[in-house]
Structure 1
Amino acid sequence: MIYVVELPEQGKPRAWFAYDDEDFSRKVAASDPLQPWEIHDEVTARELLEDLGHPVLDAAARERFPAICALGDEHGWDTPLYRADHLLGRGVFRTEPVAERDALSAALAARGGVTSCIYWSDRDAIGAFEGADPRIAGKALWWARRTLYEQLVELEVLADDN
């Protein structure tokens, strides 16, 4: 499981979980102003043209979509291109892989007024509850740890000893 503790600048912390990476991606996208393919995508220049209704690279495609054609000419038409607008900037594609988790983490980080602590496993979340994460450690952040604890108990990762 994946766990998130949101620490708003004002108000109480909130914890939520995702069953796996696919569920996490869906939940992040559901509350993000960008489309899922803007948050993270892997596509080729050829696929981009096809998505825009141009299955053939011709003069019309070059005239209407010069930026896509430039990507295809420069990097190859079947080379994977990665998009992650919160990480790379709006509409930027690059050939170096962008991990989906990094793109989703950046999407959460881009939300103003909220710090998100992401724990990629039960072990990481339990460790954070026990004080291993300084972002939610100490007396001042007791409510954040308690919120995480309640989420872990609800999912039966921890027993309710309190």
Structure 2
Amino acid sequence: MKENLKKIKLGALLCILLLSFGCSAQNHQKEEFYNYIEKIIAEKKFVFFELSLIKRCDSQYLFGFAKMDYNDNLSKRIKIYNYKGSLIIFDLGEEKDKQIIDFFDSFFEKADQNISNIERGRQSIIDERALYFVDKRFIKDLNKTQIFMESDCDKNK
């Protein structure tokens, strides 16, 4: 009986350690993502940031994160987020995959903001950065991002 109790305690302790390590790793991943986003936001003030899906392959996703001053091509299907006072608009286009549609819900605060006041026009300079994720984990390594960008994977997969 005491042996079983020891095994149960050991198993419970192991589970707790694994769970806390998993949460810690996930928090570290999000922290890296937020640090990357904050550096982009700090570079120059723009009216909003546009998120768009560029490529997907299995559990790998490449998004564009562009600084925008004008609403020049947003589709009618969008999700609006706020991150530390910055407006982020996720252009969903014709996307039907719920996993993609809700991808950034755990990263950014949803916002209910009227964007009709954003001036319409042509964006003359697009400053877009790549956001590469594998299994919903942000990959900061630009070499890995480049390799994925150049890979022969059907982006509609």
TM-score by length of 1: 0.21
Structure number having the greater helix percentage: 1
Structure number having the greater strand percentage: 2
TM-score by length of 2: 0.21
